[in-house]
Amino acid sequence: MGFAFEVVKKDPSGARLGRLRTPHGVIETPAFMPVGTAATVKGLTQAALEELGAQIILANTYHLFLRPGHELVQELGGLHGFMAWPHPILTDSGGFQVFSLAGLRQVSDEGVLFRSHLDGSEHFLSPERVIEVEMALGADIIMVLDECIEAPAAEGRAREAARRTVDWARRSQEFFGREGDSQRQMLAAIIQGGTHAELRRQCADALVAMEFPAYAIGGLAVGEPHEVTSEITGLVTARLPEEKPRYLMGVGRPEQIVDYVMRGVDMMDCVMPTRHARNGSLFTSLGAISIKNAKYARDARPVDEECGCAVCRRHSRAYLRHLFLSNEIVGSILNTCHNIHFYLDLMAKIRKAISFGNLSELRSGLQARLAERSTPGGVAE
Amino acid sequence: MGFAFEVVKKDPSGARLGRLRTPHGVIETPAFMPVGTAATVKGLTQAALEELGAQIILANTYHLFLRPGHELVQELGGLHGFMAWPHPILTDSGGFQVFSLAGLRQVSDEGVLFRSHLDGSEHFLSPERVIEVEMALGADIIMVLDECIEAPAAEGRAREAARRTVDWARRSQEFFGREGDSQRQMLAAIIQGGTHAELRRQCADALVAMEFPAYAIGGLAVGEPHEVTSEITGLVTARLPEEKPRYLMGVGRPEQIVDYVMRGVDMMDCVMPTRHARNGSLFTSLGAISIKNAKYARDARPVDEECGCAVCRRHSRAYLRHLFLSNEIVGSILNTCHNIHFYLDLMAKIRKAISFGNLSELRSGLQARLAERSTPGGVAE
């Protein structure tokens, strides 16, 4: 029972191969978490996620708090019971959504007053209240409420948000220490500080001093160049304890993921594979393709000739294009299945490469192939 | 190779247990055909259909003719190759859609001029052209073009349409005899005549004289009472040769299906299970329920406590309601999976009952349970 994290192998690049034990199973890291906002990964049934080998999924506290409500979820056995997913789950704190989706926000040290994006109803979330909601939802890994700011943000604004985030983290930890169960749920802190190196360092140091069992890096990949995301990530992970898992929130593109792993990141989540799938953008070993492109109309080849997923084994680009243009549900299902397979397969390759000590070769190989994008032989656009 | 139909057992009620061999597999009859309009059953992947035990699916010639076009489908291996469904397929003639979906129709003995519901483009379909399109699509069972009329229709109008339908059937047969391959495709005639018994008899007799390998009954279940549908069906099947399969088009509700089977019907298709699923209406052994109903908000029970489908084994009404209210794709997937399982399971029960000689008991049992609908103990509405 309970939690344990073990770094099985550390690569000279900074990458880590790890195992995170949770009450609902072990997560091999580095891991990608498909996003299941409303207690469902859009387009994939739980059975499909199991077939794809998803180890853990992420659900959104903000959305579930508003609908169907955390008390209802709790009554039906928490998220694991409600959505019949007996494997690990992580809930975010809702911070990002309150600051990006909700209306009429009033932020104070006390918490956030906001209006639901669904019906305009007014709600107040404090750090303590968020933990209470996440305890009811019952995910294995839960996140503290953080203040997310617009990007780019001036140093003063970022400093204020980082200060508040640290203050909220302390209150969250105190509340969870009194009311929560650390054998059942792991509470992770979130490091903020925008793209300001010194702020990031201070925020990380303050949170590390509080000894959370896991650390997340938030507020990145919000418009800044990939190099900046990567650099900030690296300077933060350098200050984090080796023996605790690190989660980089909301990333990333396939070609960026190896970079983050080399910065010592263990877990990531991103809506990209699922959302892009529904928009007809499919990941391949030669880059992303847009399945609606007329050149695929009579293309009998699979999306990715090197892919072993159920979709590529069975269906042609021509068929997927037809489904997309016809706005058919099965188009979204198949596209999502392929994209999530692509991400999970990439993570498996990364873990294998760390294990075999050839992650740099994997990275060069990936980048070389993506460089073929613009060549006549490449399938990608 | 080729086709063969065998009536394995005939029930005193008129029901028949049969086996229809096609180039892509055997269909145990009575059979229900899920509707896959645009070469996809909305909400179910081909793998899911296989798991559910779908023996044959129906695709719509009108839709596929307009998009992606029958020539493209042919180039990609016909419907079987295009949609990667190596099992039996039936295509309708497009008659029903031309008369219900398309705009600006001009019907003459020559054929139908109409505008696409997609882009307003003008098209002409003659009986011969429809067979040509269906030969390109390559389904196992193909239907002749028929004239579908508004319901109810006056006797004169119905007579004219039935005359034209018979004339078109002859031309279709002649064309298919010259250009088609009866080892590869089975051409079925469609009996029209509205709700006019004498017209139906005449139409049936005329088409039977032409010796088609299979017969369909069209133009029913378009608003008339179930008793009328059933009666007309019975008087038509009474005139059809015993040794050929009979297909009643576009039916029906679960409780009606046993009646049609008792009228000697072997095959049926209907959008009801798939369309209702997407609208949140789920079939159960106690009648249909609307999953959005507030009373299911905290209901941990499966949709149907007697159902063994993958959805009922895993998910609660509360979760399905949440997915429906959140407009989630997985809601449509799970609802469709349940409803198609319900229909296919009903057909399996019907076949078993014919085999065991207790179809009447099955029918009484079904009706008795549906009568519980309004009782306090019943789950249905």
Contact B42 A329 (CB under 8 A): yes
* Interchain contact, A297 vs B68, CB within 8 Å: yes
Residues of A in contact with B330 (CB under 8 A): 40-45
Calculate mean pLDDT across residues B59-85: 98
Residue-level pLDDT at A369: 84
Q: How many angstroms separate the CA atoms of A203 and A167, rounded?
A: 10
Cβ neighbour number for residue B200 with a 10 Å cutoff: 25
Contact B328 A42 (CB under 8 A): yes
Q: Give the length of chain B.
A: 381
pLDDT in tens, A271-300: 999 999 999 999 999 999 999 999 999 999
Q: Could you tell me which residue, B313 or A381, shows the higher pLDDT?
A: B313
Q: Given the residues A92, A140, A146, A266, select the one marked as catalytic.
A: A92
H or E segment to which residue B319 belongs: helix B317-325
Q: Percentage of residues in chain B with pLDDT exceeding 70?
A: 97
Q: What is the mean pLDDT of residues B333-355?
A: 98
For residues B369 and B364, give the distance between their C-alpha atoms in angstroms, rounded to a whole number.
Answer: 8
Average pLDDT over residues B201-207: 98
Predicted confidence at residue A156, as pLDDT, reads: 94
Question: Which residue ranges of chain A lie beneath pLDDT 70?
Answer: 1, 371-381
B62 and A CB contact within 8 Å = no
Residues 6+ apart with CB under 8 A from B226: B252, B253, B256, B259
Q: How confident is the model at residue B333, as a pLDDT? A: 98
Check residue B381 and give its pLDDT.
41
Please give the residue that has the higher pLDDT: either B208 or B104.
Answer: B208
Does residue B205 have an active-site annotation? no
Sheet of strand B214-217: strand arrangement: B31-33, B267-269, B246-248, B214-217, B186-191, B141-143, B89-91, B57-59
Q: Is B186 left (phi over 0), alpha (psi -120 to 50) or beta?
A: beta
Please indicate whether, in this complex, the C-beta atoms of B68 and A325 are within 8 angstroms of each other: yes
* CB neighbour list of residue B227: distance below 8 Å, 6 or more residues apart: none
The residue of A40, A50, A119 whose CB has the most chain B CBs within 10 angstroms, and thus the best one to mutate to test that interface, is: A40
Is A318 within 8 Å of B41 when comparing Cβ atoms?
A: no
Q: Any chain B CB within 8 A of the CB of A52?
A: no
At residue A371, the pLDDT reads 67
Q: What share of chain B is helix, strand, coil (3-state, %, to 5)?
A: 45, 20, 40
Give yes or no: B119 in active site. no
> Residue B295: its chain A contacts at CB < 8 A?
none
**Contact flag B329-A72 (C-beta cutoff 8 Å):** no
Residue of B12, B11, B8 lying closest to B20 (CA atoms):
B8
Tell me the C-alpha distance between B284 and B338, whole Å. Answer: 9
Q: What phi, psi does B247 have (nearest 5°)?
A: -125, 120
- pLDDT at position B105: 83
Contact criterion met (CB below 8 Å) for B350 and B258: yes
Question: Do the chains contact at A67 and B325, CB–CB below 8 Å?
Answer: yes
Q: How confident is the model at residue B282 (pLDDT cuts 50, 70, 90)?
A: very high
B341 Cα to chain A: minimum distance (Å):
16
CA distance A233 to B40: 44
Average pLDDT in chain B: 95
Closest C-alpha to B67, from B40, B90, B86, B106: B40
Q: How far is A86 from chain B (nearest CA, A)?
A: 11
All residues at 6 or more sequence positions from B201 whose CB lies less than 8 Å from its CB, including other chains: B193, B235, B236, B239
3-state secondary structure B108-149: ECCEEEEECCCCCCEEEECHHHHHHHHHHHCCCEEECCCCCC
Facing residue for B76 by CB, picked from A72, A300, A333: A300
- Cα distance from A331 to chain B (closest Cα, Å)? 9
| DSSP secondary structure string for all residues of A193-252 | -TT-HHHHHHHHHHHHHTT-SEEEE-S-SSSS-HHHHHHHHHHHHTTS-TTS-EEETT--
The angle subtended at Cα B210 by Cα B142 and Cα B24, nearest 5°, is 30
Q: How many CB pairs under 8 A join A and B?
A: 107
Over residues B51-56, mean pLDDT: 98
Which of B92, B146, B266, B345 is catalytic? The answer is B92
Facing residue for A76 by CB, picked from B39, B316, B325: B316
Which residue among B68, B84, B334 places its CB closest to the CB of A322?
A: B68
pLDDT digits (tens, 9 = 90+) for A70-123: 999 999 999 999 999 999 999 999 989 988 887 778 999 999 999 999 999 999
Complete edge-to-edge strand list for the sheet that includes strand A4-10: A4-10, A16-22, A25-29
Distance CA B21, CA B2 (A): 8
3-state helix, strand, coil in chain A (%, to 5): 45, 15, 40
Amino acid B373: pLDDT: 57
Determine the 3-state secondary structure of B20 from DSSP.
strand
Q: What is the structure's pLDDT at A376? A: 39
**B5 CB-near residues (< 8 Å, 6+ apart):** B18, B19, B20, B21, B213, B214, B243, B244, B245
Instruction: Give the pLDDT confidence score for residue A41 in this predicted structure.
Output: 98
Residue to mutate among A75, A322, A334, A335, with most B CBs inside 10 A, is A322
